[in-house]
Structure 1
Amino acid sequence: MQIQNVGFILILRTFESLNFVKMHIHHIETRPSILNHFIAQVRDCSVQTDRMRFRRNLERIAEILGYEMSKYLEYREQTVTTPLGEKKVPMLARDMVICSILRAGLPFHNGLLNYFDHAENAFISAYRHHTGTKDEFEILVEYLSAPSLENKTLLLADPMLATGQSFVSVYESLKKLGTPAEVHILAVIGARPGIALLEKHFPPETHLWIAAIDDTLNDKGYIVPGLGDAGDLAYGNKLQH
């Protein structure tokens, strides 16, 4: 009987690993903290008109997400020499690359870099190109500056996760730079349809670190209630393509 039970457990675990390995979603605002104040401010029409404050709040949210994410990374003990002796300290074990999507991703990138100052940096452009008279659009990626991603920890950052198409297009463009050992996606606000799209296109065991999740998108593919256009709020209005 004991052997049969062990065999059944092994079969069950194998079946689970083949069929039910999905993205790990870390929805941080569900446990109230000071993070909720920053989220409220980036959403609030009466506050978000202050561009400097808006950028700083994106930066602070990124810092909190980065700290929460750091609890799940791999560490190795290293010996540090102090003026009075030596001490073994757990230090991050793998090289890291922070890749931000321009332009709203810049203050978000700075927040992550405040905590992971040893990380390499990558920048990529992705924008909506409207293909007709309606609200249909495609994501165009036109600029990429990045180091090798081979066997590194990739942090893919953008404040807004709306349809999810930008994240998917960017990840496809990054594949030519090597295979990361692990992938972490970070966002301030996301919509459930966009998260569902990421689950279909990103590798199993990808982690999503997100401050807030809204249920729907409007006809133009913007998050409702969301916060508006993060890039415009951070840096000013842009001419449309």
Structure 2
Amino acid sequence: MHIHNISQQNSILNTFISEIRSENIQKDSMRFRRNVERIGEILGYEMSKTLNYKSKNIKTPLGLCDINLSNNDIVLCSILRAGVPLHNGLLNYFDTAENAFISAYRHHKHDPESFEIIVEYLACPNLENKTLILADPMLATGQSMVATFEALKPFGKPKEVHLISIIGAQEGVDFVNTHFDDNVHLWIATVDEKLNDKGYIIPGLGDAGDLAFGEKLQQ
């Protein structure tokens, strides 16, 4: 797998990452969602440099202009619910993409420190020979990313696969690296050192879904 850690080079991305991490700033859920959306735009822009392009003749009011335009058939799939703001940011740049949504959550049986990933809801177009962008803001253990990709397989084999995350733990990055083919790309804004005993990224930012949409009831 090809890993693209965007934080290895300083950019305005650092500002948005710092704000979604900050305890004070992240209390504003609207600003949190907007920052996640802007990070999605940046990751989408970086990813777009690797797509396929074909020259097209454009007629302007004053003449003709040749410009290279992407000709990828893109399907953008996000993991609910935390993935919605990230999905919106990517969709701002890939506005002709088809869209897929999938639910994946941690199910704790008896031990609060152990869990399995449950996939329930899935809506997806045909993926055969298309470019799949699979987005999940937090790459903690990596199990959700792998489980959702497995759930998408009945919809066809994509020509290209791009994974998009904002913050990952090194353990999660290593996990997906061993579970995806060599031609898959991971685009990630930054990578943190470790997970705590409950599988949350340290220092991370907390629960992205709760910060974006409010606390959920636990069952």
- Structural mapping, 1:1-241, within 5 Å: 23-241=1-219
Q: Aligned with 1:187: secondary structure? A: strand
Q: Work out the CA distance in 2 between the residues paired with 1:77 and 1:238.
A: 48
TM-score by length of 2: 0.98
Residue-pair matches, total:
219
* Two-structure CA RMSD over aligned residues (Å): 0.8
Larger radius of gyration: 1
How big is the shift at 1:224? Answer: 0.4
Per mean C-alpha deviation after superposition, the further-off stretch among 200-209 and 141-150 is: 200-209
TM-score by length of 1: 0.89
How big is the shift at 1:137? Answer: 0.4
Q: Work out the CA distance in 1 between the residues paired with 2:183 and 2:24.
A: 39
How big is the shift at 1:79? Answer: 1.4
- Relative to its length, the structure with more helix (as a share) is 1
How big is the shift at 1:84? Answer: 2.4
The one-letter code of the counterpart of 1:188 is I
Q: List gaps (5 residues or longer) in structure 1.
A: 1-22
**Percent identity, aligned pairs only?**
62
The one-letter code of the counterpart of 1:226 is G
How big is the shift at 1:85? Answer: 2.4
Q: Which runs of 4+ in 1 moved over 6 A?
A: none
Q: Aligned with 2:24: secondary structure? A: helix
Q: Aligned with 1:151: secondary structure? A: coil
Q: Work out the CA distance in 1 between the residues paired with 2:2 and 2:159.
A: 15
Q: List gaps (5 residues or longer) in structure 2.
A: none
Q: Aligned with 2:120: secondary structure? A: coil
